[in-house]
Structure 1
Amino acid sequence: MTDRIPLRRRFARLVPSRWALRSLLAGLVASAAPVFAAEPVFPPAGSLGLAPPPGMKPAASFAGFEHRSGASIVLVEMPPEAWDQINGKFTPEALAPSGFRVKSGPEPLSTAGGEGFVLRGTQGANGLTYAKWVAVIRGAAGTGLVTVQVPEAAAKQVPAPTVEAALRTIAFRPKASLADQVAALPFTVGDTAGFRPIGVFAGNGLLLTEGPKDVDPEREQPVVVITPSLGQAPVPAGAETTYARRLFAAQKDLTNVVVTDEDRSTRGDAVVVRLRGTGTDAKTGRTLGLTQMTVFEGGRYLRAIGFADIDRTDALARAERVAASVAMR
C-alpha cells in the first residue's frame, strides 16, 4: 500500500482468518502528557475506541480518526488470543523491514481500558516523514492495535503530547453483532452471489466465504475480501493498472502470482481494473485462481479480490459478481 504508511502486513494468523489481515493488514506503532476530559469515541459498531486529539474527526473510510493535515489514527480489533501472539514480538528489529524506525519501546502503556505497550518512532511514505506510534492493548473485550501517524509538517496541528494523552484513553466496549458491523461498513454489497459474510476487519474490510467453515486455514473454501483504501490514495491518471497489478502481486503466503488476463474500463468518473490470474499457496502447494476488481475514483480506491481452487471457475465467476455489486456509501 502506498496511499498511507503500510498498516496491514505483519499480522497474519492474529484473527480468526488469515484472509482478513491480508486485505487488512500491511505495516505499523508515552511520556507525560495532558489528560483529556473527553469520553472515548467508538467507530460505528466498533468495540475499540479512544478520545482523539483536538481537531481529529471520525474517519469515513476506516475505523479510526483523521485530520485535515493527513494525520490519522487507525483502530484494529483482534481477539483476546492475539495478545499472546503479539506480546514480545513487536520489537525495533522485527519492525525495521516495514520502514518503521523505532526510537523508543516497547514501553508499558496503561490505558482507560486495559494495559499493554507502545512503540514510538518515524516512518517515511509517499515522500513524507511521519511521526508514528503503535500501541497494543489488552482489555476485557479483546486485543486492540492502535496506529497513529502524523506528518512531520503537521506536528503543531497534532502535537505529540495530545497523541500521548489520546493513547491513555483507549477503551473497549462489548462487540457489536456481525450484522451491525456489516451495516456500518463504508460500502454496500448488492449481490453476495452465494457467499456469506464471516467477518469485518479494521472497521472497513469485509470477508466472505462459501462453505460451512468460518476458520479455514487450509483455504479449502472460496473467499472474497473487500477493502477500500485507507483515506486518500492518489494514483496518477493512466497508472491505475500498474497500481492494481502491484496490489494483485502482493498476496501474503502466495507465491508464483501471475496475471493471466486484464481489463481496464470506466464507470462514470471511475476507472475499473479487473485482473485474473493464479498463485501457489505457500503452505499447501495448491494452485489457486485469483480475480481482482479495483475501482479508482476521487483519490480513493475500492478493491475486491476472490480466491478459490483453480478448478472452481464457478466460484471465481461469482466472486466477480460480488465485486461488481460493491458501491461506496
Structure 2
Amino acid sequence: MVLSRFRRATGRLLALLGLVSPLLSVPLLPALAAEAVFPPAGGIGLVPPAGMTLSRSFAGFEHPSGASIVIVAMPAEAYGQLAEKFTPDSLRATGFAAVGAAEPLAVAGGEGRVLRGSQSARGIAYTKWVAVVRGGDGTGLVTVQVPEAARAQVPNQAVEAALGTIAFRSPGSVADQIAAMPYAVGDLAGFRPVRTLMGNTLLLTDGPKDVDPEGTQPLVIVAPSLGKSPVATGQQSAFARKALGTIREVKDIAVTDESRTSEGGAVLIRLRATGKDVRSGRKVGVTQTIRFEGKSYLRVIGLAGADQPDALARAERVAASVIPR
C-alpha cells in the first residue's frame, strides 16, 4: 500500500513538472562497483562513457554533444511493479519506439531489465536506452539518450558497457541531497522538505504526510530545466503560460494575475491561476514562478486548495529565495 502511494505520488510529481519521458536501454558488461561514479549524495552510479562527466543540473552525466544519462532513484520495493509494466507497448504512448522486448541486465548484487529504441524531441532524433534496475536498498531508472548526430562520439558499445557498471550505495540524507542541488533555497516559508528527484528537483509540503496522492496538503516543487535551450527574449511570458498548462492534474486553469520583474541578468515571470483538481473536482490555486537566466530556467510551482491562499503566498516566498548556484 505504501509502495502504491509512493508510485502515484512520484508519478504525480513527474507529471506536474512535465518530466515524464520514455524509458529505454541495453545489455552489458559486468562492472566493478568500486569504479562507479556517483552523483553527489546519490545512491546509484556507474562508469560513464568516455567524455561524459557528472552533470551539475541533474543526477547523472552529460556530454558536450548533448548526450545524457539521467538517474532516478526509488525504493527497492518499486522494482517489481515497474518491471511488470516495462514493455514496448506501455512506453509507446510516451513517443518511445522500442526495438525488441526488454532484456535482462546484469547488475552487481541485483537485477535489471533494459529496452533500446529511439525517440525524437524538439526536432532532434535520439537513440535511447532505459534500464530498470534493483540493488542494495534501492531501485533505479537509468535513461540514456544520444543524439543521432553524436553517435560517433558516444557509440552504442560505450553506452552498453556503461549500463553494465551500474552500482548501488547508501544515499546521503535528504539534507545532503538538498545541499548538492544546483540551487539554494533561502526561505522554506514554513514548508518542509519531503524528497528530492533526479538530483535537481525538490518537493516541499505543509502537513504530516510524506506521501499525499490525494493532494490534500499544499505542495511546492522546485526544478530547473534539464536542457540548455534558451527562451528567446520577449517569449518568456508565452513560455510560462504554456508551462502552466503542463500541470496535468489541474484542469480548467485560468490565469488571474501575471507579473514580470528583473533581477540582475535574470527575468522572472510569476503567474497566479485557479483551476480544478482532475480527480476530485475541488477548486485549487496555483502559483508558478519561472526564473529565466542565460540558457536555462528554474521553475517553482505552488499548489494548494482554494481555501489555503496563505500557502500560495508562502510558495511565492520560496520562489523568491531560490538562487542558482
* TM-score, scaled to structure 1: 0.91
Unaligned runs of 5+ in 2: none
CA distance in 2, matches of 1:35, 1:173: 14
What amino acid maps onto 2:241 in structure 1? R
Correspondence for 1:143: 139
1:23 maps to 2:46: no
Number of residue pairs aligned between Structure 1 and Structure 2: 319
Match of 1:118, SS state, is strand
Contact 2:71/2:143 (8 A) holds in 1: yes
Match of 1:176, SS state, is coil
Contact 2:224/2:299 (8 A) holds in 1: yes
CA distance in 2, matches of 1:87, 1:136: 7
The structural deviation recorded for 1:111 is 1.9
CA distance in 2, matches of 1:116, 1:231: 28
Residue number among 214, 219, 228 corresponding to 2:224 in the alignment: 228
Contact 1:62/1:231 (8 A) holds in 2: no
1:48 maps to 2:41: no
Residue number among 63, 67, 70 corresponding to 1:74 in the alignment: 70
CA distance in 1, matches of 2:18, 2:162: 24
CA distance in 1, matches of 2:49, 2:33: 11
Q: After superposition, where does 1:193-208 map in structure 2 within 5 Å? A: 193-208=189-204
1:59 maps to 2:58: no
What amino acid maps onto 1:264 in structure 2? R
Structure 2 CA distance for partners of 1:279 and 1:12, relative to 1, 3 Å:
farther
Tell me whether 157-166 or 113-122 shows the greater mean CA deviation: 113-122
The structural deviation recorded for 1:116 is 1.3
Contact 2:31/2:108 (8 A) holds in 1: no
Tell me whether 278-287 or 57-66 shows the greater mean CA deviation: 278-287
Higher helix share: 2
Q: After superposition, where does 1:1-329 map in structure 2 within 5 Å? A: 13-14=6-7, 17-21=10-14, 22-23=16-17, 25-28=19-22, 29=24, 30-31=26-27, 39-329=35-325
Identity percentage of aligned residues:
55
What amino acid maps onto 2:173 in structure 1? S
What amino acid maps onto 1:203 in structure 2? G
What amino acid maps onto 2:178 in structure 1? V
Correspondence for 1:7: none
CA distance in 2, matches of 1:113, 1:293: 43
Tell me whether 91-100 or 284-293 shows the greater mean CA deviation: 91-100
Unaligned runs of 5+ in 1: 1-10
CA distance in 2, matches of 1:305, 1:159: 38
Q: CA deviation digits over 1:177-203, x for unaligned, max 9?
A: 111111111110011111111111111
CA distance in 2, matches of 1:302, 1:208: 16
What amino acid maps onto 2:17 in structure 1? S
Match of 1:243, SS state, is helix
Q: CA deviation digits over 1:140-159, x for unaligned, max 9?
A: 22110000000111101001
The structural deviation recorded for 1:24 is 7.0
Structure 2 CA distance for partners of 1:39 and 1:32, relative to 1, 3 Å:
closer
* TM-score, scaled to structure 2: 0.92
Tell me whether 81-90 or 315-324 shows the greater mean CA deviation: 81-90
What amino acid maps onto 1:219 in structure 2? G
Please give the root-mean-square deviation of Cα atoms over the aligned residues, in Å. 2.0
Contact 1:17/1:216 (8 A) holds in 2: no
The structural deviation recorded for 1:295 is 0.7
What amino acid maps onto 2:20 in structure 1? A
